[in-house]
Chains A and B, each alone.
Chain A
Amino acid sequence: MSMPFYVSPEQVMKDRADYARKGIARGRSLVALECAEGIVMVAQNQSRTLYKISEVYDRIAFAGVGKYNEFQMLKIGGVRLADMKGFQYSREDVTANSLANAYAQTLGQVFTNEMKPYEVEILVAQVGATPEEPNELFHILYDGTLMDESDYTVLGGDAERIGDALEDTFRPGLSLAEAIQIGAKSLADEGVTLGADQLEVAALERGRPRRAFRRVIGDELLGILS
């Protein structure tokens, strides 16, 4: 008869965290920066159809790195939660804060209860309705750790290097184009320049009517990066 081996909870959690981190590190990173117009999100992504950045609600966007099917599922869950809340209460009652908490709850539960943790890191971003109202950047890890960041945030395995690069180049009040340039530059490895076909760029622009989310694509992106 086989005997189950005893494994300490510390070891189980550590193994799971290592597993999740390894999965995330295999993928490409993503940065989000505050700018004068709102928030810019830049991801290294060659696909034109499988997005890492998506619209969730009027002023809220979702971004994920790691395993595509897992953060895609989380994105859909977020859209569902937001739309239900907005329909049952009011559009104004949908906030990034409550959405980020729901994500943290879900990821935390999966991390402790399921066989395998999600190999993802996600961002819930909300642009303020007016320049006076602060933007919100919620960075959520695979185990449900929730961080409230400002100025900029980096998601993915290469976060330390990219964060260092941004610390030198970021300053408050950047224009949308400048923020995209800085973001793209920070993602690139030493001596490499990322072109428009290797980047996925989206923005939450305060000035747009109702739906603040838009993708920065095509000629506009080419123009900004050249």
Chain B
Amino acid sequence: MNETPLLPIFSEGTDPGPSFLNLLRRVAPDSLQMPQAIPGQTLPFELAHGTTVLAIRCEGGVVMAGDRRATSGNSIANRRIEKLFAADEYSGVAIAGTAGLAIEMVRLFQVQLEHYEKIEGAALSLEGKANQLSQMVRANLPAAMQGLVVVPLFAGFDKRRDRGRVFSYDAVGGKYEEADFSANGSGAVHARNWIKAAWSEGISADDAISISIRSLFAAADEDTATGGPDLVRGIYPLVAVINSEGFKFLDETDVAARSQLLLDGPERGGSA
């Protein structure tokens, strides 16, 4: 970049439009470089992996949650990693998979959404946002082939339809809208079973929050890569509610109190 950067103004035919990704491709392709697959080789080192995240549709919106552990092989890479992010005012994204790539993908996704909104003067539709994320996951395919998989979970409040919606993805960028809920990561099977047992149409956001904390607890109970509430250090899952008022993280004290309630009650004694 020059000392005094001139405005990126493009002539006809080369304009990247409202896409920040296209802009970067045109102006600073270096900052988009993805790891390329080397055939027949596996990575000679272990990378941090994010584990269990989930999204539950509820009355008037969606609840999203994620545990706080990242693992690297069989050791703990980070015990207070954040895997749940506000994508924009009305949507959230939670990540599972190779943490380093996933966090960068989220950062790019956040800018992509805000950039579109500022250039066009109006935010993308929820479906549009979900499709954008799909393209980013697909762009990561060469890395995924080498084991560096990133699989996000996307959920938000659809203002045009006045309800919450949940989208899950696979490694090739396939986007699947989930009817009611979804979970992702190594502890997802356990979490999903807990949600399935407790979920019903029209549950309140408050109930969905309780279910999300309970199911993360269950996942942590069964899956070593998922972190449970850490009362000693005061580390608790991240939980957010997205409704017509926007994306909002729950206070840590609230999550702590709910986790304590769980430990005093149904999970007391920790039966096998």
Contact = CB atoms under 8 A, between A and B. Distances in A.
Partners in one complex: yes
Contacts of A84: 8, 23-24, 27-28
A76 B117 CA distance: 11
A102 B28 contact: no
Interface string B2-36: 00111111000000000010011001100100000
Among A73, A79, A101, the most chain B Cβ lie within 10 Å of the Cβ of A79
A55 B108 contact: no
B119 A76 contact: yes
Among B24, B108, B111, B118, the most chain A Cβ lie within 10 Å of the Cβ of B118
Contact of A88 (B4, B31, B114, B121): B31
Interface in A62-121: 73-74, 76-81, 83-84, 86-88, 98, 101-103, 105-106, 109
B119 A102 contact: no
A65 B155 CA distance: 39
B111 A87 contact: yes
Nearest to A74: B7
Contacts of B28: 84, 88
Contacts of A106: 6-7, 9
A87 B9 contact: no
How many residues of B sit at the interface, in one of the four size bands? 20 to 34
Contacts of A109: 6
B8 A73 contact: no
Contact of A55 (B6, B9, B27, B118): B118
B4 A102 contact: yes
Given A56-B118, A106-B9, A87 B4 contact: no
A105 B9 CA distance: 13
Nearest to B7: A77
B175 interface: no
Contacts of B108: 87
A86 B111 contact: yes
Interface string A130-174: 000000000000000000000000000000000000000000000
B107 interface: yes
B115 interface: yes
A3 B151 CA distance: 70
Interface string B226-264: 000000000000000000000000000000000000000
Given A55-B118, A83-B115, A86-B111, A102 B24 contact: no
A141 to B, nearest CB: 16
B167 to A, nearest CB: 24
Contacts of A76: 9, 119
A77 B27 CA distance: 12
A102 B7 contact: yes
A140 B27 CA distance: 25
Contacts of B111: 83, 86-87
Contact of B121 (A54, A74, A80, A103): A54
Given A55-B118, A76-B119, A81 B8 contact: yes
Interface string A48-59: 010100111000
Contacts of A83: 20, 23, 111, 114-115, 118
B4 A80 contact: no
B7 A81 contact: yes
A78 B5 CA distance: 11
B213 to A, nearest CB: 25
A105 B20 contact: no
A103 B4 CA distance: 10
Given A87-B107, A87-B111, A88-B31, A81 B119 contact: no
B170 to A, nearest CB: 27
B25 to A, nearest CB: 12
A81 B115 CA distance: 11
B119 A79 contact: yes
Interface string B115-154: 1001101000000000000000000000000000000000
22 contacts: A51-B121, A74-B7, A76-B119, A77-B7, A80-B23, A81-B7, A83-B20, A83-B111, A83-B114, A84-B8, A84-B28, A86-B111, A87-B111, A88-B31, A102-B4, A102-B6, A102-B7, A105-B4, A106-B6, A106-B7, A106-B9, A109-B6
Given A54-B121, A81-B7, 19 more contacts: A49-B121, A55-B118, A73-B9, A76-B119, A77-B8, A78-B7, A79-B115, A80-B7, A80-B8, A81-B5, A83-B23, A83-B111, A84-B27, A84-B28, A86-B111, A88-B31, A102-B4, A102-B6, A105-B6
